[in-house]
A and B are shown apart, each in its own frame.
Chain A
Amino acid sequence: MPMARHSTKGPLPWLSLALAGLMAALFAALGPAPEAWVYDRAAIGHGEWWRLLSGHWVHSDGGHLIWNLGALLVLGWIIEMRNRVMLLTGLLAGTLGVNLMLWLALPELERYCGMSGVLNTLLLFAFAALWRVATAPVLVAVGTLSFAKILVEISAGQALLTNAAWESVPQAHLAGWLIGLVLIIAGFAPQADRAG
């Protein structure tokens, strides 16, 4: 793969920063799990469609927010530095995939909030972005480990390390991970075009 070095500094990942800022601002303004914003199956059934989007941007407590915020900044930065459009694509595709999983496969789950399902889509996009410049074995290892972690959590019925106010839903992580994989295989992986 041809490589070209232009400089050691790139532009700021302003989209990732803006999205992270939005996530933090929502928590500061609305508090944990704002009733009108979370994914609420019954309310969505009554026409409150915005929850399919807003539910992923609000969080159940400070710890829940911090972990997801950190992951969004890291993954967003990696993807945005390669292709900003792909960051948006990943967010939208992940949102769609996680919503489908929640709606079709988890009818008993009444309410949900948090970004982690979507972040798993971004995780796969980040793999793809880095794979194009560095086919390091470590990528394979991390990818395998992340998938294994999701499977372990699903089989255990709970998250391994999180202790958020709302219990973790590893099936949402799986949905995000799989939708990312499908998009990569389908050729929607991040391209090596400079954003902006």
Chain B
Amino acid sequence: MKTQLISLIRSTFVGIAAWLLVSSVNAAGLLTPTDGSLPPLTIKDHHVEVIIEDGYAITTLEQVFHNPHGEDLEAHYSFPVPKKGAVSEFTLWIDGKPIVGEVLEKQAARQIYEEEKAAGRNAGLTEQDAYRTFDVLVSPVRANADTRVRLVYMQPAHIDTGIGRYVYPLEEGGVDEAKLAFWTANETVTGSFSFDMRIRSAYPVEAVRVPAQPGAVVTQAGEGEWLVHLANDSAGEPVVQQLGNGEPASADTAGGSSKPGVPAYRLDKDIVVYWRHKAGLPGSVDLIAYKPTPEGRGTFMMVVTPGEDLQPIQEGRDWVFVLDISGSMQGKYATLSEGVQRALKKLRPADRFRIVLFNDGTQELSSGFVNATPDQVRVFSEAVSRVAPSGSTNLYGGLQRGLDVLDADRTSGLILVTDGVANIGEVRQKKFIELIQRKDARVFTLVMGNSANRPLLEAMTRESGGFAISVSNSDDIVGQLLAATGKLTHEALHDVELNISGVKTSDLTPNEIGNLYRGQQLVLLGHYWGDGMASVTLDGRVSGEQKQYRTRFAFPAVATENPEVERLWAFASIEGLNQQIADFGENPDTKQAVVDLAVEYGLVTDHTSMLVVSDEVFAKHGIARDNRARVAVEQVAQIQRAQRAAPSRRVDTQQPMYNSKPRPNHGGGSFDMLAVLMLLPLVWLAVRHRAVV
């Protein structure tokens, strides 16, 4: 017990110390050079509005930057790239008028921005720094004045094991040491902050949970409609302001930088929201389409939610935990340690495990495979909690050592927990893939934080047939582990293929589906022509046996409610192209394909940026206002969707693909405070009549 206490104190101390070390720079915020050459600006207001409907989330961020100094300055706002987040709108208010940005090739956008900045004219630029951050540049923020910007991004919002998860990423991962050394981040909102989420679902939503935000107010507006509100200046009333209406969110556009009596809000902690569908919903196929004209090309997103027919695995298995203990894990290690301890406790006695640690080098915590008995689990849980992260990240070395110790005679899985930025040793993705291909083991990755090299980690896990799960410090770690554990302890549907006949389709993404684990949805995007009934078959193998699921449903001739599906398809296609670049190296054709898609669909990528300049400058450079037109179409659709109840997108009602098998779910029984309070009268009566027999 004493050892456990000391261990707990030590790990807590390490966690707090690590947090203190990194918190000044590990957050979304306005960046200022650490050398003090430029005075800092402030974030006056920060308002976030999220709508989750039809399988995707639209996040609108509206900010007001304030310049309290006597000279014009440039604002540089940086925030972590949201998972699969596609920036689709960047609007800057110039002379009180909102100007929607246009997407250009990265260098061209930067050049025009620099020209405008040098000329002292208003300009804005949103760039992507690989998988790490989106950077918003605005110049100038006038002396003693405010500048207002709006950023919109969209991302898939799918359900896993009946639970949806949304993350508004604010914690910077602390993995880019050069950037951290150069910049200091001001993550404090001096004026008003609000976060408003609206979840709209045709499937009943039973509960919504915001685990790390005790001030969040959750209200139910209907069977499938919930609201989440978080703010620093209200007592739970949802923000009424309508973002995107062209009028400033803040009444004053100049002057003071803080509101009296309103506590400052720090943008240093992710906001994670879960929503839980009603238990027992059947497996289903949903179709969200956009086809503005009958004769034209349509775009669709098909979401297959499997029913429960994957059985638990009975035989004992070997697990190798490969844990990142590099310095960048300092702020996340407490979460990692807790997660690993809980995972160890979930192993069956017939299972065995090994623990491999890596930073500059590698070491094995266990000596060979250890049986997962309660004693061994306790011993190694304590050992994991005692580790203090430090050094660099030799991810390849850690992975190699983990794979080298596998026993070829038993079914094995490798659980990799990392923030995923390989910075010493082998760092080429191609080599990682080759390493994975040499061994017959599935890799399951828990991706810690927002700055992980997700492309690399997802490529590795996909190659091995495993899966990757993201974990934030604000996550409900038990819930995330439950979702992961359910996948590891049950059979999976392997080598999944989906075929559509009866309607012409093309440009399907992803090209290869791979494996489907328990609770996972399959999301397929593509184009189609015409309309009418289509037959859809899903084929795969479970424990060597071939399985097939079928359904029939109609593709619509015209569908105008979800124009955002086009951008989601383009983003998914770009992800596929980026994967090719990572696997086989960059070639001009593939890069040009990325640029063309991003420009056509108005998406910020590694190779394209979103530029805002005045209408005259756009005209002078001959830049078409395609994104402005696309944004206008999307805004009209969003207004129309908001005026009616969320419709069902399920298309396999007549011929259910899963024969109405329910989605996987679990439950528990608990007495609560009210039930226990009701026992008090019984206690009183029992004490009063204690000696009566």
Binding site for B on A (CB under 8 A): 3-10, 29-36, 38, 40, 42-43, 46, 59-61, 63-64, 67-68, 70-71, 74-75, 77-78, 81-82, 98, 106-117, 119, 123, 126-127, 130, 133-134, 136, 138-139, 141-142, 145-146, 149, 157-169, 172-173, 192-194
CA distance A159 to B479 in the complex (A): 18
Chain B 648-678, CB-CB to A under 8 Å as 1, else 0, gives: 0000000000000010111111111111101
- A137–B116 Cα gap in the complex (Å)? 82
B670 touches A68 (CB 8 A): yes
**Chain B residues, CB < 8 A from A159:** 670, 672
Instruction: Let me know if B314 is at the binding interface, CB within 8 A.
Output: yes
Which residues of chain B are near A160, meaning CB under 8 Å? Answer: 672, 674
Please judge, given known A-B contacts A31-B342, A34-B345, whether A119 and B665 are in contact too, CB under 8 Å.
no
A-B contacts, 22 listed (Cβ < 8 Å) = A3-B689, A4-B693, A8-B690, A30-B374, A31-B345, A40-B312, A59-B668, A70-B676, A109-B279, A110-B308, A115-B669, A116-B675, A119-B671, A133-B692, A161-B674, A166-B668, A167-B666, A167-B667, A168-B670, A169-B667, A169-B669, A194-B693
Return chain B residues, CB-CB under 8 Å to A139: 681-682, 685
Report Cα–Cα, A163/B478, bound state, in Å: 13
A4-B693, A43-B312, A142-B678 are known contacts. Are A77 and B670 too (CB-CB below 8 A)? Answer: no
On whether A71 and B676 interact (CB within 8 A), knowing A4-B693, A31-B342, A142-B681, the answer reads: yes
**B683 in contact (CB, < 8 A):** yes
Residues of A within 8 A of B673 (CB): 67, 161
B348 x A35 contact (CB < 8 A): yes
User: Which of A40, A78, A157 meets B278, CB within 8 Å?
Assistant: A157
A134 to B686, CA, bound (A): 9
B311 touches A42 (CB 8 A): yes
A36 to B665, CA, bound (A): 17
| A116 x B671 contact (CB < 8 A) | yes
Q: Which of B170-213 contact A (CB under 8 A)?
A: 204, 206-207, 209
Q: Report how far A27 CA is from B85 CA in the complex, Å.
A: 39
**CB-based contact B489/A71 at 8 Å:** no
Q: Are A109 and B342 in contact (CB under 8 A)?
A: no
- B482 at the A interface (CB under 8 A): yes
Cβ-defined contact, A74 with B668, below 8 A: no
Interface string of B346-370 (1 = CB under 8 A from A): 1111000000000000000000000
The answer to whether the Cβ of B256 comes within 8 Å of any Cβ in the partner chain is no
How far is B314's CA from A33's CA once the two chains are assembled, in angstroms? 17
CA gap between A77 and B276 in the complex, in Å: 37
Which residues in chain B, 264-302, are within 8 Å of chain A measured between CB atoms?
276, 278-280
CB pair A130–B346 under 8 Å, yes or no, is no
How close is B13's CB to chain A, nearest CB, in angstroms? 22
- Do A33 and B683 touch (CB < 8 A)? no
Q: Tell yes or no: B688 within 8 A of A by CB.
A: yes
Which residues from 471 to 489 on chain B have a C-beta closer than 8 Å to any C-beta of chain A?
Answer: 476, 478-479, 482, 485, 489
Q: Which of B347, B479, B672 is within 8 Å of A162, CB to CB?
A: B672
Whether, in the assembled complex, B679 has its beta carbon less than 8 Å from a beta carbon of chain A, the answer is: yes
Q: Are B675 and A134 in contact (CB under 8 A)?
A: no
B206-A167 in contact (CB<8A): yes
Q: A75-B679, A159-B670 are in contact. Are A46 and B312 (CB under 8 A)?
A: yes
The interface centre, meaning the residue of B206, B314, B672, B676 with most chain A CB atoms within 10 A of its CB, is B672
Whether, in the assembled complex, B691 has its beta carbon less than 8 Å from a beta carbon of chain A, the answer is: yes
Cβ–Cβ contact A142 & B682, under 8 A: yes
Q: Is the CB of A71 within 8 A of B686?
A: no
**Interface contact B691-A6, CB-CB below 8 Å:** yes
Give A173 to B672 CA distance when docked, in angstroms.
Answer: 12
How many whole Å from B61's CB to the nearest CB in chain A?
29
In the complex, the answer to whether B672 meets A165 with C-beta atoms within 8 Å is no
Q: Which single member of A67, A115, A127, A165 contacts B476 (CB below 8 Å)? A: A165
- Given A108-B665, A159-B672, A162-B670: A130 and B686 interface contact (C-beta under 8 Å): yes
CB <8 Å contact, B348 and A36: yes
Interface centre among A75, A126, A159, A192 (most CB of B within 10 A): A159
Instruction: Report the separation of the CA atoms of residues A8 and B96 in the bound assembly, to the nearest whole angstrom.
Output: 82
Chain B hits for A74, CB < 8 A: 676, 679, 682-683
Is A168's CB under 8 angstroms from B669's CB? yes
**Residue contact A29 to B374, C-beta cutoff 8 Å:** yes
Report how far A78 CA is from B206 CA in the complex, Å: 36
Taken together as a complex, chains A and B put the C-alpha atoms of A59 and B341 apart, in Å, by 17
A6 to B690, CA, bound (A): 10
Asked if A117 and B669 sit within 8 Å, CB to CB, the answer is yes
Say whether B670 contacts A64, CB under 8 Å: yes
